[in-house]
Each structure stands twice: as C-alpha cells, then as structure tokens.
Amino acid sequence: MCQTPRVVSVFVRTSLPPHVAGQHVDVRLTAPDGYQAQRSYSIASAPGVVPIELAIERLDDGEVSPYFHEVARSGDTFEVRGPIGGHFIWAREDGGPILLVGGGSGVVPLMAMARHRAVAAAEIETLLVYSARTWDELIFRDELIEREACEPGLALAVTTTREPRRRPGDLDRRLDRSLLRKILARWERVPRHVYVCGSNAFVGSVTSDLVQEGIAPARIRAERYGGTL
C-alpha cells in the first residue's frame, strides 16, 4: 500500500508477542548466496491489530527498503524479530495529555500511539505535530485529517518546510522554538508525556526547544535515526 511516493505500508503476519505502541521490529532479509541485511522498522498499527503494519521509506542506497518497494509480493516470507523497545512507548495507563512530535517518517511510531488512543483512551487529550517537506510526503495524511475531524480529543498541527501550506490552519515553515510556542499556545494544554521522533537533527532541535519552553526533560522521550529533514 503506497503512503507517499517514497513510503509504502507493508502488512506482516507474525507469531510475535503483542507490541506496545511505540515499539519496533527488526527485519532481516537473506539473499540466495547467504548474504544478510537487517533494518529496524517502527510498528504503525495499534497494539492487538494483526497483521502489523510497517511503513517503509525507500532509501536509494538501502539494502532492505528497495526489496519492499520493488520485489516483495504477498505471501513472501522473511525474518522478523521483536517487538523491541521499552522506553519510547505509550499505553493507556500512562495517561495524558500527550504531545506527539514527528518529522518525516518519524511519525510512524506516533501513529501507533494515536491509533491506540482512539480505541483504548479516546478521552485523553492528544496533539500530534507533524513536519514534512511537502504535502505529498505526509505519511498517513488522509487518515490523520479524518481522525482530527472525527476525534474531538485529537488535535493535528501540520507544517511543510518546502512548499506552501494546503489548508487553513496549517503551517509552512521549519518547526523551530517560536513555531512550537505558537502551536502549544493554540492547544492550551500542558502535556504530561511528550514523544519526539525523527532525524537526529530534528529531534535534537525540537527537544531542546521544548525544554526552553518550560517542559521538564523528564517528560520527554525521544527516538531518532540518521539523516536530516
């Protein structure tokens, strides 16, 4: 299932234990000559949903992602290990309000949290701040817009960094401290938990800005990957 020009959703049936929102799995491919390549992918689906959904971004120099974009077919088998991760997770009993901040494909584990909240804790106020280069690169875009319209406790703030905004209320600039301040003031909530996921540079900048805006570091959990936004 195509999410954006560079991201596909892959639905995997496994015998793994149920995951917690925010966890990931390791996927290993083995070539006919025995060569193996392994990568980690966040789980986008809510806990208990099968098959699990992985949103895989194509990397031109990648060893694993091109397989899922060009070769994989329904019924193919490969190794999956997990679920993995005990820090960057959220469950209903953790409560809220929740602030989720994602850059690019960093939205994937946050999507699992948003989906889990919808079915298990819809009363918990949640704000998802999502930054991407362009409108067409917003992963899960249509679902997120629909969720915002149908779920009173979910607020969505979208900013695109390389093209003008498409909707009134959206933003079209880099997610810096002043923009975060504006978004948080509009939300009018004090988050109990904050989850930030994206590139190294994105996560470093956002977490620093949030602390400067008065959010205690102990409330912030971060997950990052290489590259830049």
Q: What CATH number corresponds to the domain at position 214?
A: 3.40.50.80
Tell me the average pLDDT of the chain: 94
Query: What sign for the dihedral angle of Cα 225, 220, 151, 148?
Result: negative
DSSP code of residue 174: -
For the stretch 40-81, pLDDT in tens is: 999 999 999 999 999 999 988 888 999 899 888 898 889 999
| Cα-only R_g, the chain | 17
- Tell me: do 157 and 205 sit in the same domain: yes
- Tell me: do 164 and 146 sit in the same domain: yes
Per-residue b or e along 9-39, where b marks 16 or more CB atoms closer than 10 Å to that residue's CB = bbebeeeeeebbbbbbbebebeeeeeeeeeb
What percent of the chain is predicted at pLDDT more than 90?
Answer: 87
For the stretch 90-114, pLDDT in tens is: 999 999 999 999 999 999 999 999 9
Can you give the pLDDT at residue 226? 58
The answer on pLDDT for 228 being more than 70 is: no
Sheet arrangement for strand 154-160: 154-160, 126-132, 98-103, 193-199, 220-225
Domain stop point among 84, 114, 136? 84
Q: How many domains does the chain have?
A: 2
Write down the pTM of the prediction.
Answer: 0.94
- Tell me: do 26 and 120 sit in the same domain: no
H or E stretch including 19?
none
